[in-house]
Structures are given as structure tokens and as C-alpha cells.
């Protein structure tokens, strides 16, 4: 009988280790300078955020319980001057990573571990090393997805 109760509990209990995907489409985007609003945002057709200039995106995610989580950022870039895009990551107002350099221009998952509080958490990802020279080079950053997953 106790085995039946355990099985029933497993079937009814919600999965707590499922990844929580943060919504890039409705996130808040801000260019690092006035007049740059059209150069940063979300491209629905390509389902990714674009950063053609330095700027940041503010994302919020609600987690069911406090604890240690893996934050997975899927990102790509367009390199320039032999350097890939760099980002700063802030979680709930505290620095999580500074000057993190993407390893490749292709989309890739980058994982960070952090303690999240129960309820709403705020993640800010800032693109920091834009460079551009007309008809010569243009470094850009692209954000494809951000997920939160409780560590077991």
C-alpha cells in the first residue's frame, strides 16, 4: 500500500526540476546611450534578442523555491577585431559574472550557478564591448534563450 501512495504522489506532484524559460520577447531592453533604442531589442522572426550597440536586457523569472540554480544563457555573436562579445551578468542587484567572453560566434549554452530566492528574481545581461567601423567591422551580441533550473 505504501508503494501505491508513493506512486500516486509522484504522478500528482508537479515536477520541480523543469527548466523555467525566461521571456525574451517581453523583457526590458535599454541601449547604453540615448537614441540607440532601435539598435537593441527582440527579433520575433529569428526568435532572439539583438544587441548592435552596448546595452542591457532585464529579465524576471519566478522560481517555486529558494535554492541553487543553473542559469543557462544561449548566446552567439559577431566577432570583430579578433574578439568575441563580452557580457556582464547581474542577479538581484549582485554581480554574477563580469567581462564574460563568449567562446564562439555560434549559438552556445553558457552555464552559471547561483542561489535564487523563492518567487521573482531579476537577471540583467549587459553587452559591454561593442565596436563598429563602417564597411570594416561590427561586433554584435545575440541572446537566444535564458533558462533557470534547480540543481539537484
pLDDT given for residue 14 in this prediction: 38
Q: Which residues of the chain have pLDDT under 50?
A: 1-17
pLDDT given for residue 36 in this prediction: 92
pLDDT given for residue 85 in this prediction: 98
Secondary structure of the chain as H, E, C letters = CHHHHHHHHHHHCCCCCCCEECCCCCCEEEECCCCCHHHEEEECCCCEEEECCCEEEEEEEEECCCEEEEEEEEEEEECECCECCEEEEEECCEEEEEEEECCCCCCEEEEEEEEECCEEEEEEEEECCCCEECCCEECEEEEEEEEEEECC
Contact (CB, 8 A) for 152 and 114 = no
Burial of 110 (0-12, 13-18, 19+ CB in 10 A): middle
Ordered by start, the domain boundaries in the chain are 16-150
pLDDT given for residue 152 in this prediction: 83
pLDDT given for residue 18 in this prediction: 85
Task: Please check whether the domain covering 16-150 is classified as CATH 2.60.120.260.
Answer: yes
Amino acid at each position: 500500500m505504501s508503494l501505491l501512495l508513493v506512486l500516486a504522489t509522484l504522478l500528482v506532484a508537479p515536477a520541480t526540476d523543469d527548466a523555467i524559460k525566461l521571456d525574451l520577447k517581453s523583457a526590458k531592453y535599454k541601449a547604453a546611450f540615448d537614441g540607440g533604442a532601435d539598435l537593441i531589442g527582440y527579433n520575433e522572426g529569428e526568435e532572439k534578442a539583438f544587441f548592435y550597440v552596448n546595452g542591457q536586457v532585464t529579465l524576471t523569472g519566478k522560481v517555486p523555491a529558494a535554492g541553487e540554480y543553473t542559469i543557462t544563457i544561449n548566446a552567439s555573436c559577431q566577432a570583430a577585431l579578433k574578439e568575441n562579445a563580452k557580457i556582464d551578468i547581474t542577479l538581484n542587484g549582485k554581480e554574477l559574472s563580469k567581462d564574460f567572453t563568449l567562446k564562439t560566434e555560434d549559438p552556445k549554452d553558457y552555464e552559471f550557478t547561483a542561489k535564487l530566492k523563492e518567487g521573482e528574481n531579476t537577471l540583467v545581461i549587459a553587452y559591454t564591448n561593442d565596436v563598429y567601423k563602417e564597411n570594416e567591422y561590427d561586433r554584435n551580441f545575440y541572446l537566444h534563450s535564458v533558462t533557470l533550473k534547480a540543481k539537484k
